Amino acid sequence: MTIAELIAHEWKTRLSRPAALAALALFAAALIHGAVHGRLQRDTRLHAIQAHVEEVATTTAGWLDEVRALEEEGSASGVAPWAGSPMDLTFATYLSPAPLADFAIGQSDLLPYLGAVSLWNPDARLFARYEIADPVSLALGAFDLGKGIIFLLPLVLIVLCFDVLSGERDAGRLGFVLAQGVHLRELLWTRLTIRAGLVLGVALVVATGAALVPVEALHISQRLPYFVLWSLCMLLYAGCWIGIIALVASRNRSGEATVMPLLLAWAALNLIVPASIAAIAEAVYPSPSRLAYLAEAREVEIETELTEPNLAHRFMAEHPELLVDHGSAIPAYVRTAFFVTSTVDEATRPILARFEAAAAQRDAAVASLRYASPAIIVHGLFNDIAGTSFARHHRYMTQVREFKARYAARTGPYIVAGKRLPAGDAARLPAFRFAGDAAGVIAQRNVAVLLVLTLVNGLLLALADRNVRAIREPGD
């Protein structure tokens, strides 16, 4: 029996059945739904970022107009003489969605992705208001293309591929098929390749279509390297399940004895093991409470503000190089607010460090246990490629605080002296830009994980091939 004859036989006897076609159609529909939902989430973030940038730009333009008017016309401009303090200048910061952000929502619905930097607000309040969605839906997570691949791809592979040997055996046709000159080993791998190839073809067609749909402010060439890496991860994940299916099917048992271990393996690797690892991580490294962190930071902030009368003297004692113009038209409370914010930032920095260290430690604990399940591995890879991981959001928040600290150091002498920041200097101030990762950097960061998946694939396929070679065929 030739390859073409096997493909035709597969289509007539298995793949053209309504149940198989319905499974493929539902799989494709679920993936399309995940892709559309991920695109909507990305668009929502882009629109929120655009509105945030426009709002801050309008405020900044008004601030610059007042400074220029005071510089050119002085009191005749009609602008309040206390306007133009660097304390009143606001900067827009945001975490731009990565080129493939619509493929995996990850933790982007839980973590902040935009914020306004102002010296009136200490670091503890830069991202104090962002968890406004329903906590139950946030806990369950949103469905996206990545989740569709992780949870549904193995199920569809099991449904279509579990009986690559047991189907003919249970129907009593195995002897007839072998009489056509086909060996069990050839039958197993050819059928598995045809059926799994059809499932992977559906997944790749939907994913490719989602990747080629134009995205605002992005060219397809910018998405392509990330999509190639994402596709590689999907194929390695599928390879793990193809290897598991081949290993179980190579025992040459009945259909019931083949499908039940596969369904149990899916439940264990995709549900039980991830839930157990999350429970272990929660017990060993409890999730740090952001409310507790904010409450502690607020307490420190209040205590600092109560010592406000002494702040100026202490600050000037620590920074004698700064000159104070007591005759400035800018009110003294502006200078005092700068002292308070600087002192609060310094006092709450250890609290913030403890909070982020606990969160990072928990994330590292889960990462160290991810090799127990390919679903955990690929979920982390998908989030990293899509730019929706905790690590990327943490880098964004860190860069925002560093940006605010640089601006405070640059304008501090003006604020303390009660002077305005010249309009020319203000116009040359750098805007916030988040430094993201290229696809090559992400691949290099995860090369060890990709190698582990490749080795697991090879091991499973080799064991399955050894088992099927050991089966005695009629006539042996």
Least confident range of 28-32, 240-244, 283-287, 352-356: 283-287
pLDDT the model gives residue 68: 87
Q: Of the segments 120-124, 389-393, 444-448, which one has the largest average pLDDT value?
A: 444-448
Residue 474 inside a domain? The answer is no
Domain count, the chain: 1
Mean pLDDT value across residues 337-343: 82
pLDDT the model gives residue 424: 85
Q: How many residues does the chain have?
A: 476
Query: Closest Cα partner for 83 from 329, 349, 350?
Result: 329
Residue 475 inside a domain? The answer is no
Q: Is the pLDDT of residue 448 over 80?
A: yes
Full residue range of the structural domain in which residue 231 is found: 3-469
Q: Is the pLDDT of residue 201 over 60?
A: yes
Confidence label for 195 from pLDDT (cuts 50, 70 and 90): very high
pLDDT the model gives residue 82: 73
pLDDT the model gives residue 159: 92
pLDDT the model gives residue 242: 96
The pTM (predicted TM-score) of the whole model is 0.86
Percent of the chain clearing pLDDT 70 (strictly above): 85
Residue 295 inside a domain? The answer is yes
pLDDT the model gives residue 356: 76
How many C-beta atoms surround the C-beta of residue 278 within 10 A? 14
Least confident range of 117-131, 170-184, 254-268: 170-184
Q: Is the pLDDT of residue 463 over 80?
A: yes
Confidence label for 317 from pLDDT (cuts 50, 70 and 90): low
Residue 476 inside a domain? The answer is no
Residue 69 inside a domain? The answer is yes
Q: Give Dmax over CA atoms of the chain in angstroms.
A: 108
Q: Is the pLDDT of residue 214 over 90?
A: no
Residue 381 inside a domain? The answer is yes
The secondary structure of the chain, three-state, reads CCHHHHHHHHHHHHHCCHHHHHHHHHHHHHHHHHHHHHHHHHHHHHHHHHHHHHHHHHHHHHHHHHHHHHHHHHHHHCCCCCCCCHHHCCEEEECCCCCCHHHCCCCCCCCCCEEEECCCCCHHHCCCCCCCCCHHHHHHCCCCHHHHHHHHHHHHHHHHHCCCCHHHHHHCCHHHHHHCCCCHHHHHHHHHHHHHHHHHHHHHHHHHHHHHCCECCECHHHHHHHHHHHHHHHHHHHHHHHHHHHHHHCCCCCHHHHHHHHHHHHHHHHHHHHHHHHHHHHHHCCCCCHHHHHHHHHHHHHHHHHCHHHHHHHHHHHCCCCCCCCCCCCCHHHHHHHHHHHHHHHHHHHHHHHHHHHHHHHHHHHHHCHHHCHHHHHHHHHHHHHCCCHHHHHHHHHHHHHHHHHHHHHHHHHHHHCCCCCHHHHHCCCCCCCCCCCHHHHHHHCHHHHHHHHHHHHHHHHHHHHHHHCCCCCCC
Q: Is the pLDDT of residue 132 over 50?
A: no
